[in-house]
Amino acid sequence: MELMNNYKETILIVDLDAKQCDTESLSEDMVAAGLGGAGITTALYEQYKDRDPLIIGTGFFTGTFMPGGCAGVVSAKSPVTGKLCHVPFGGYAAVELKLTGFDFVVVLGSSDSPVRLWLHDGLSDLDDAADIWGKDVWDSVDKIREAYGDEMIQLLVIGPAAEAQSKASQFSVNYWGSFDKSALGAVFGAKKLKAIALRGLDSLDVAEGFFGACVDLKNAICAGAISGKYGLKDIAKDIGIDAGAIEKLASMTHRNNAAYNCPYAAAAFVKYNEAPTAVDMKGHPAPGCLITDIQGFAALHGAGLDAGQAMEQCFRQGIEPEAAAKAGKTDGVSADAGKAGAFSTAVPVSIFGSGQGDAGWQKRQALAAVLGIDPMLMVMAPEITEAKIVELVQMSAEWDDFSAEELDRIASAVIAKSA
Amino acid sequence: MDLKVDSLKCTGCRICEFACNYHQDETISSIGSSLMFYFEEKKNYYGMMVKRAKTLYLGRPEGEQLLKPGEQIEGAGASAKPILLRVACDCCADEDDGPLCVRACPYGVLSLEG
Ligand code: SF4
Ligand code: SF4
């Protein structure tokens, strides 16, 4: 196995009780047992269970040429379900984490004062966060980027709702919320961990032939089930979102963004403070927001709120949008939306005719969380077959005896241990 | 031949940068790439810069622009500066199957022209 093609071989252990950071090595045995992502965060969770661990992990293919290899996973016991949950996070944040030099981050215990963790260039700094505790997510992102002097810093961050350990809260990826429907944001809050800031300039090795094999798979995906579809609007139409909400989304959509190496652009940037068609770099400083959780957007619209602006309020406060919709407001939200689960219910069961019912969905989500593949793409791209995954694991890590049975065993274990 | 960017089709997936880095030094990363994504996140304003041998090419939503050495990159901020130190695009002349960034882009944004 050539681990350096997929991992930097380092686990960071952050002990908040002692305010200390330490490292352990990510061994070949751990990768053989759990492959990556949720396969390994589950093992680390069991190892550190008595210290209330919050674990952030990168998948086996995160930051590689594997199509959709954008995702990481946050694993912790949900305050809502009381069980281990795996929440995917995408954009560029998980890639940035892997390229900081840390594959996994295990946060243990809790701090007696607000802190933020700054990971960069193989270094881990546990810094005071009193200056941003109490601030909303948008202000916190701006202040942290300013403090560390880099606009490209990626963040997992919480707002006031998660600081108060609300079951209606979520953690946020940069300014734009997340797929956290299990209130893992409140776990950050209980630990007084305001943010994890990431900037990674490291590199991974690449196995011979892997780039070409990934380009071929990407071309097959683009020519497959997603062909002719574009943007969040087409997903919304396909999964039966209310026509009024779709119209609202379409009327404000500026452009659709893709997460790192994703062949489907599933995030719609909506503008409500200037014309959606404007592409002027000197325009409004905060013209709108980025929507990935279409069900949250639709729920807010259905609750009679102005969905674009209401999403922004949820993002700023760090509130899960469906919980806000249930409460009918975006301030003082206390109820959870009852959407918590082992994997994020922000991901539809079927998109564009691809989907294999609830059990099939669960397996695809477990695989996404292990491999670091975008969880939406795993549903909408049946071209990413299990046989193809096995072939690419073998090729990427020069690991010829990795088998379909092993992949199956690893996904099943992740599902069983979060049930 | 020069690399061109059809910016309005771009989705910001950034795999072109990592593909170019792979061409330039056989690893996956973004820091050795001749291409650089620049991004004003709150405005969702983004474009691509390409370091060419004698100029800097900007492919942004408003259109294309060529800058000569010493000219300011208007609006792209301090994060754009490192592109000036990067190795210039060689159009992947030694790659048998064509330019890696063009092959990697899922959205048909990049092309070699001229
Ligand atoms: S053509 Fe080749 S050298 Fe030029 S930007 Fe693309 S990958 Fe880099
Ligand atoms: S690969 Fe294509 S779509 Fe992605 S950032 Fe580069 S040019 Fe844009």
DSSP structure string for A84-140? EEEEEE-TTHHHHHHHHT-SEEEEES--SS-EEEEEETTEEEEEE-TTTTTS-HHHH
- Who's near A19: CB < 8 A, 6+ residues apart? A111, A115, A126
Q: How far apart are CA B100 and CA A308, in angstroms?
A: 38
Q: Do A281 and B26 make contact, defined as CB atoms within 8 angstroms? A: no
Q: Over 70: is that where the pLDDT of B3 sits?
A: yes
Amino acid at A272: Y
Q: How far apart are CA B37 and CA B17, in angstroms?
A: 7
Q: How far apart are CA A39 and CA B97, in angstroms?
A: 36
Can you tell me which atom of ligand 2 is nearest the CA of B9?
3
Which of B27, B58, B89 is the pocket-test mutation for ligand 1 (most atoms within 8 Å of CB)? Answer: B89
Chain A positions in Cβ-Cβ contact with residue B44 (cut-off 8 Å) = 254-255, 257, 269, 287-288, 290
Q: Do B106 and A67 make contact, defined as CB atoms within 8 angstroms? A: yes
CA A209 to centroid of ligand 1, rounded, Å:
18
pLDDT score at B78: 58
Cα B73 from chain centre: 14
Nearest by CB to A257, from B12, B22, B30: name it: B12
Q: How far is B113 from chain A (nearest CA, A)?
A: 21
Candidates A217, A302, A319, A307; CA nearest to A268 is A307
Q: How far is A368 from chain B (nearest CA, A)?
A: 18
Q: Domain limits at B49?
A: 2-113
Q: Which of residues 140-159 of A touch B (CB under 8 A)?
A: 150-152
pLDDT score at A367: 98
Judged by DSSP in three states, A293 sits in: coil
Instruction: Name the pLDDT band for B76 (thresholds 50, 70, 90).
Output: low
pLDDT score at B45: 94
Q: Which of residues 181-240 of A touch B (CB under 8 A)?
A: 201-206, 211-212, 215, 218, 221-222
Residue nearest atom 7 in ligand 1 by C-alpha distance: B20
Q: Which ligand is nearest to the CA of B20?
A: 1
Which of B2, B15, B20 is the pocket-test mutation for ligand 1 (most atoms within 8 Å of CB)? Answer: B20
pLDDT score at B79: 61
Residue A287: closest C-alpha in chain B: B43
Q: Do A255 and B42 make contact, defined as CB atoms within 8 angstroms? A: no
Residue B13: closest C-alpha in chain A: A260
pLDDT score at B69: 77
The mean pLDDT of B31-39, rounded to a whole number, is: 94
Instruction: Tell whether the torsion through CA atoms of A132, A133, A134 and A138 is positive or negative.
Output: positive
Amino acid at A241: I
Kindly report the number of other CB atoms within 10 A of residue B68's CB atom.
8
Q: How far is B111 from chain A (nearest CA, A)?
A: 16
Cβ atoms of residues B55 and B68 within 8 Å: yes
Nearest by CB to B11, from A152, A212, A257: name it: A257
Q: Which ligand is nearest to the CA of B8?
A: 2
Structural domains of chain A ordered from first start: 1-225+348-419 (3.60.9.10), 226-327 (no CATH)
ipTM of the predicted structure? 0.95
- Who's near A242: CB < 8 A, 6+ residues apart? A298, A301, A302
Q: How many domains does chain B have?
A: 1
Q: Over 80: is that where the pLDDT of B75 sits?
A: no
Nearest by CB to A279, from B28, B31, B62: name it: B62
The CA radius of gyration of chain B, in Å to the nearest whole number, is 13
Q: Do A281 and B106 make contact, defined as CB atoms within 8 angstroms? A: no
3-state helix, strand, coil in chain B (%, to 5): 25, 30, 45
What residue has token string 């560029």? A92
CA angle A42, A44, A46 (to 5 degrees): 70
CA A113 to centroid of ligand 1, rounded, Å:
48
Judged by DSSP in three states, A304 sits in: coil
Cβ atoms of residues A100 and A203 within 8 Å: no
CA A259 to centroid of ligand 1, rounded, Å:
21
Interface probe for A, chosen from B42, B96, B97, B109 (most Cβ of A below 10 Å), is B42
Q: Do B43 and A64 make contact, defined as CB atoms within 8 angstroms? A: no
Q: How far apart are CA A125 and CA A201, in angstroms?
A: 16
Chain B positions in Cβ-Cβ contact with residue A287 (cut-off 8 Å) = 43-44
Q: Do A212 and B75 make contact, defined as CB atoms within 8 angstroms? A: no
Cβ atoms of residues A398 and A207 within 8 Å: yes
The mean pLDDT of B32-46, rounded to a whole number, is: 94
- Who's near A334: CB < 8 A, 6+ residues apart? A166, A167, A168, A327
Helix or strand holding residue A55 (H, E): strand A54-58
Cβ atoms of residues B39 and A153 within 8 Å: no
DSSP for A86-102 reads EEEE-TTHHHHHHHHT-
Can you name the residues that pair with A412 across neighbouring β-strands?
A: none
Label the pairing between strands A104-108 and A115-120: unpaired
Backbone angles phi, psi at A410, to 5 degrees: -65, -45
Tokens of A58: 């990168």
Task: Compute CA distances A208 → A62, A394, A413, whole Å.
Answer: 18, 12, 31
Cβ atoms of residues A100 and A410 within 8 Å: no
What residue has token string 């998980």? A94
Tokens of A200: 């990674």
Judged by DSSP in three states, A390 sits in: helix
- With a pLDDT cut of 90, the percent of chain B lying above it is 81
**Residues of chain A whose pLDDT is less than 70?**
none
Q: Do B22 and A211 make contact, defined as CB atoms within 8 angstroms? A: yes
The CA radius of gyration of chain A, in Å to the nearest whole number, is 20
CA A50 to centroid of ligand 2, rounded, Å:
44
